[in-house]
Amino acid sequence: MRDFLCHNCGQRLSFENSKCLNCGKPLGFWLETRTIHNLDEKERTEIDGTLLERCENTKVAQCNWLVAWTGTPSLCESCRLTRTLPPETDIEARAEYGRAETAKRRLVLELDELKLPIVGRDDDPQTGLAFDLLSSSDQSVITGHDNGLITLDLAEGDDVHREKLRVQLEEPYRTLLGHFRHEIGHYYQIVLIDDDVRPKFEELFGNPDDDYQAALDRHYSEGAPAGWPQNYVSSYATMHPAEDFAETFAHYLHIRDTLDTAAAFAMAPAGSTLDSVLPGDVGFEQLIGWWLPLSWALNQINRSMGHPDLYPFVLPPAVLDKIRFVHNLMPAT
């Protein structure tokens, strides 16, 4: 994530800011240039001859993204991917929905920087990307992916609920953004794994056509196999080849975005940004060479503050080979 500044007063800004807390100017994020801009009294601005205004979801989704002005309200690139959201009458779920959309915008920005294709259901009704953001407070909601449709339980936005599940499932890490990154991995398995790369996929992860329900039943009855940390990034990754790929994909996104942010604040080399890593194996070796010392340092900083490790994972050679595979799938590399 980049280091943003208010163009009016020079105040440092967060990606999520919709108003400068120093000068009070309204702000908007423009995906095409990946920059934050000051808005006028009508909450509009002009960039390169294009008149922009706030996304229609400014209030309900806490959205600070800009869209081209058309005379009628419209949704930004991130918000229009959401197919279903909680009803207006569910005030608690609406608040959780806003937090989920904030995490989703960070995901969409990273995907855009990595030049990954994002095809919505309007263009591909069968396997296009879409999100159902629903709350399990009054209905059964299972977070998951189905042919491009990602469903997220908004209860995951509640810290107490999420931490309870994290402990119950013996997970070292559980966040809204982590869920989005995992589920989007399933989507990109459909998009990126073609006949050319499938043999290497099966060599590393196994056969994605293995019976999923049988694997699920086995995982929850028997748990992860002995010695799993030598070959998998998490115990959940052991369940099925598709879950192994999704977990690995999520960790690749964790690594890339964290390095990008660290570079913006001079905590990592300038070459580690999302738009400058070298392609292929050379680029991957650089990436890991930067990541391992950074994650170690960040873990020690967290411990100094009395918090758990920021990145509580070990990356043995077999896992690094899988992350390398994901790296080499990136269009930008």
Query: What pLDDT digit, counting tens, does each position of 280-322 carry?
Result: 899 999 999 999 999 999 999 999 999 999 999 989 999 999 9
Is the dihedral angle over the CA atoms 271, 275, 279, 283 positive or is it negative?
Answer: positive
- Write out pLDDT tens, residues 31-43: 999 999 999 988 8
pLDDT at 162 over 50: no
Q: What is the pLDDT of residue 332?
A: 62
Q: DSSP secondary-structure letter at 232? A: -
Helical ranges in 239-316 per DSSP H: 241-264, 280-304
Task: Please state the rounded mean pLDDT for residues 106-113.
Answer: 96
Give pTM, 2 decimals: 0.91
Check whether 134 has a pLDDT greater than 50: yes
Mean pLDDT in the chain? 90
Helix (H) or strand (E) holding 12: strand 12-13
- String of b and e for 207-220 (b: at least 16 CB within 10 Å)? ebeeeeeebeeebe
pLDDT value at residue 165: 47
pLDDT category at 164 given cuts 50, 70, 90 is low
Predicted confidence band at 180 (pLDDT cuts at 50, 70, 90)?
very high
Would you state the pLDDT for residue 166?
42
Taking 90 as the threshold, does the pLDDT of residue 333 lie above it?
A: no
Over residues 216-240, the mean pLDDT reads 92
pLDDT higher than 60, residue 234: yes
Residue with tokens 């869209």: 67
* Distance linking the first and last C-alpha atoms of the chain: 19
More confident residue, 163 or 198: 198
Q: Which residue has the higher pLDDT, 240 or 176?
A: 240
Does 77 have pLDDT greater than 50? yes
> Who's near 100: CB < 8 A, 6+ residues apart?
133, 152, 154, 156, 157, 176
| 8 contacts: CB under 8 Å, gap ≥ 6 | 20, 23, 25, 38
**Per the structure block, which two tokens stand in for 54?**
């706030």
Q: What is the pLDDT of residue 91?
A: 82
Question: Are 105 and 81 in contact, with CB atoms under 8 Å apart?
Answer: no
- Give the pLDDT confidence score for residue 89 in this predicted structure: 83
CA distance 154 to 146: 18
pLDDT at 174 over 80: no
Alpha helices per DSSP H over 114-240: 159-168, 176-192, 198-205, 212-222
State the pLDDT at residue 93.
Answer: 84
- Of residues 225, 285, 295, 223, the one with CA closest to residue 254: 295
294 alpha-carbon distance from chain centroid: 20
pLDDT cut 90: percent of the chain above it: 73
